[in-house]
A and B are shown apart, each in its own frame.
Chain A
Amino acid sequence: MPTVNMSVNGRPASGEVEARTLLVQFLRETLRLTGTHVGCDTSQCGACVVHVNGSSVKSCTMLAVQAEGAEVVTIEGLADGDSLHPMQEAFRNNHGLQCGFCTPGMVMSAVDLVNRNPKATEAEIREWLEGNICRCTGYHNIVKSIQEAAGNMGG
């Protein structure tokens, strides 16, 4: 089996994987980073979004071996110690989550959006979130959260 090496949340991570192992499986099963979730099998729901080399990626669409040498950040790596990332803080402050299952992917996706487009309009935020499905919130408070975080991330 191939060995894969990458940086996950700023720390080196390696493991033997089958060639078919998905990045999300490597994160959840090998590294036991279970904050990244699997909600579908067709790359639609977005619960598995992580950052690979600074861009949001559905980790169910990528093989672990494709992340060889990459810098991967998961929801577990977003906060600075006990201090939440502004996006996490905004989700908490605006009730941007209910059951929490889509939340890690939603937050990681939203951080990438604000990094790319700090002044995103409501329409742009809603369009960006097309790849992340939430069944609980109706997206209303997720949009509010992202708008607030954009202000606090220096956008």
Chain B
Amino acid sequence: MPDGAQETGIGASVRRFEDQRLLTGKGTYVDDINRPGQTYAHILRSPHAHARIVSIDTSAAVASPGVVAVFTGEDMQVGGLPCGWQIHSQDGSPMHEPPHPALAQGKVRHVGDQVAVVIAESAHEARAGAELISVDYEVLPAVMDLKAAAAGGTLLHEEIGTNVCYDWGLGDEAAVDAALAASAHVTEIDIINNRLIPNAIEPRAAIAEYNGATSEYTLYTTTQNPHVIRLLMGAFVLSLPEHKLRVIAPDVGGGFGSKIFLYAEETIITWASARIGRPIKWTAERSESFMTDAHGRDHVTHASLGLDADGRFTALKVQTHANMGAYLSTFATSVPTYLYATLLAGVYTTPVIFANTRAVFTSTVVVDAYRGAGRPEATYLLERIVSKAARETGRDPVELRRLNMIQPDAFPYATPVALTYDSGNYQATLDTAERLADVAGFAARKAASEAAGRKRGLGYSTYIEACGIAPSAVAGQLGARAGLFESAEVRVHPTGSVTVFTGTHSHGQGHETTFAQLVSDQLGIPIESVEISHGDTGNVQFGMGTYGSRSLAVGGEAIVRATNKVIEKARKIAAHILEASAEDIEFADGSFTVAGTDRSMAFGEVALAAYVPHNFPHDTLEPGLDESAFFDPANFTFPGGTHICEVEVDPETGVVEVKNFTAVDDVGRVINPMIVAGQVHGGVAQGIGQALLEGCVFDAEGQLLTGSYMDYTMPRADNLPSFTVATETTLCAHNTLGVKGVGEVGAIGSPPAVINAVVNALSDLGVTDVSMPATPQTVWRAIQDARA
């Protein structure tokens, strides 16, 4: 180990245990698994964005070589895919929840909607069979424009009488209007947060298997949260009890939110596996990923920020139309409400804030959480409008931010949008970022660019996010239909090695390493003696999974608590054997010692005694050493930081090059700095992708124009610079580790820094706004429009 073999504790960059198998081709992803007698499913999808299904003729498909079975919505009469978060409109009425069938029931509502499934002996035969299905569609007008759809016109779900899912509000609108009216200056902004397609490089896949002898189903699937899938699919869709449905998520090739949700395909094949009595595999082609993985973002927002004569923010009013897509995906409704509007205070002391969100159904792919989920949208809005306010009032954008920042001694800080920040030091991240970005040298670099005919700009984002999702009580009050705790079991084996079962799921985050560091450190045993197990409802007692940067702050804390229980039990065992009272047993460096003596037992010796309890007083001391804990946090965690982006723009072509990107984040205590930096790198790359490259485009008829890697611009290595990343640390006040979470900060903080940099670069050409993605064409047009 390059850092020295001893360095495995908290704060050490331990090289990952995952890597040996993943680097040698020995990872096991879902599509790598094959079951005896396996068949293959192909989904026939709608070519139309909105149509009534007049008839479906499957006879030729049924007769096609190799085809085992064909099912349509008529065959699959089960529950709809549920939505996990109920939002109420401002008038108190509950949101509209139209049915979300796994296989279309009479109508299709986006291109790619599931119409039928063909199951065959091979993937080729399943696809060939699907091509023989004849569907008679009555094509209906696509519902594409958010505001027009909200106003009425063609209805996607006639039974609810509107395209508006809910019209939600947070804050005191009258107070905000009054404060804005009394402000010395009001900055207005219209913002589009572009729709993104998540694009984990592993396409979704699933294998469902039914055992007729035991009536048990096993589902291997690409999910971030196997227990949640089991609960939603079992309880709400297929009416299967948990003990008859086992969900396994083995190695999963990235998620970014898109693998949280219960999807139609895994549900269809689980249902069908019992019908045909054979295992069924389904693996998405990338084109299916583009048109069926839940998309992200897609907000249209108008906002007003009031400032007094000194530049202090007086009020913020935000009106957003949020695209739900054709149906409600699992957590879609929470994203543009409680994960968005609650972050609109940012790092600032704005005294009154009002947010209104209208969620709208359109004939597009569903929209749900994608890395950051609501918080990038809030941050982008806020950091754009603050920079715009600085320009309009002739203030330095950094000084305006500093003037309005919550002070380091003001915590806990209650915002006007329902959150209480527990800790932070935003000034420290800003100071460090300005130093690392060499802001002092920017003027010289800008002059050099200017001499070469290029425009150089600097953009800031001082952001906060709420993660560590979530306190169940708070989430429940806000409409969550599930708890959001996490569970852990620490099973000590007789010879002192340990298996830790966690309800979180790692799909790139390195839990097998970080969590092992925690337990090794706590028990004083070698890190190689700790194994982390996750991803199988047959092994792990329960879990809510990995999203919302929650694994360490919630799941890690559960592990710490279960490990503490192990230590307490072991203390009693050691006390019995050493003939002392438990209160006199001290535990340090992996040994239990009678205080003030040299009588001690190593952790491994206590473990062995737990399983060889020859003289235990069984009325007071049970054999075994296996403890579990459930942890429900008292609050969200609040990572924050400063991102500074430096770009160079070619004014003749509109090409933007990111020259430097500096991210200084406060993620609380850092367990493994190498992994933390890697998480920031990946998040920033996705944020730069959103700002400069990525954007989902549908045409007016609802056809997905960006449906492949040739049309949707993924960030490539030569689109990005090497990054400068660092951390500043304030500890979370309500978990013992002091950790906050790092998975999403990069994607949340970075997009406004990039766009603010582009606008800054072009400001002397008169450009005041550039929309995302700032492609060469968009930037070139902004320059031409400013010149006109």
A residues at B contact (CB < 8 Å): 18, 28, 33-42, 44-45, 47, 74-76, 78-79, 84, 88, 91-93, 95, 97-104, 107, 122-123, 125-127, 129-130, 132-144
Contacts and interface: CB of A to CB of B under 8 A. Distances in A.
A101 B2 CA distance: 25
Contact of B200 (A88, A135, A143): A135
A125 B254 contact: no
Given A92-B16, A141-B681, 10 more contacts: A40-B286, A40-B709, A41-B287, A42-B709, A92-B19, A98-B508, A100-B22, A125-B717, A140-B722, A143-B722
Nearest to B746: A138
6 contacts: A37-B29, A75-B24, A92-B23, A99-B252, A99-B254, A129-B716
B66 to A, nearest CB: 13
Given A133-B709, A135-B682, A78 B24 contact: yes
A123 to B, nearest CB: 8
B201 A47 contact: yes
Given A102-B201, A137-B682, A122 B722 contact: yes
Interface string B687-731: 000000000000000000000111000111110101100000000
Given A39-B201, A99-B200, A129-B718, A91 B286 contact: no
Contact of B201 (A45, A92, A122, A143): A45
Interface in B651-707: 674-675, 677-678, 681-686
Instruction: Count chain A CB atoms within 10 A of each CB in B27, B124, B285, B683 and give the residue with the most.
Output: B27
B199 interface: yes
Contact of A140 (B18, B200, B256, B681): B681
A42 B708 contact: yes
Given A99-B202, A100-B251, A93 B15 contact: yes
Given A42-B709, A133-B709, A140-B723, A88 B24 contact: yes
A130 B682 CA distance: 17
B487 interface: no
B543 interface: no
Interface residues of B, number: 56
A41 B286 contact: yes
B716 A133 contact: yes
Contacts of A141: 678, 681
Contacts of A130: 716-718
A101 B203 CA distance: 10
Contacts of A125: 717
B510 interface: yes
A51 B527 CA distance: 36
A27 B505 CA distance: 29
Contact of A36 (B25, B709, B720): B25
A104 B682 contact: no
B285 A135 contact: no
A138 B723 contact: yes
B720 A79 contact: no
Interface in B201-234: 201-203
Contact of A126 (B15, B20, B252, B717): B717
A142 B18 contact: no
Given A92-B19, A98-B510, A39 B202 contact: yes
B100 to A, nearest CB: 27
B221 to A, nearest CB: 15
Contacts of A97: 19, 22-23
Which residue, A79, A98, A99, A125, has most C-beta atoms of chain B within 10 A? A99
B253 interface: yes
Nearest to A125: B717
B678 A100 contact: no
A80 B441 CA distance: 49
Nearest to A20: B124
A104 B25 contact: yes
Contacts of A41: 285-287, 708
A14 to B, nearest CB: 20
A134 B675 CA distance: 16
B507 interface: yes
Given A40-B708, A41-B286, A101-B201, A135 B23 contact: no
B31 interface: yes
Closest CB pairs A-B (n = 8): A35-B25, A101-B253, A138-B685, A100-B22, A99-B508, A44-B709, A98-B508, A138-B681
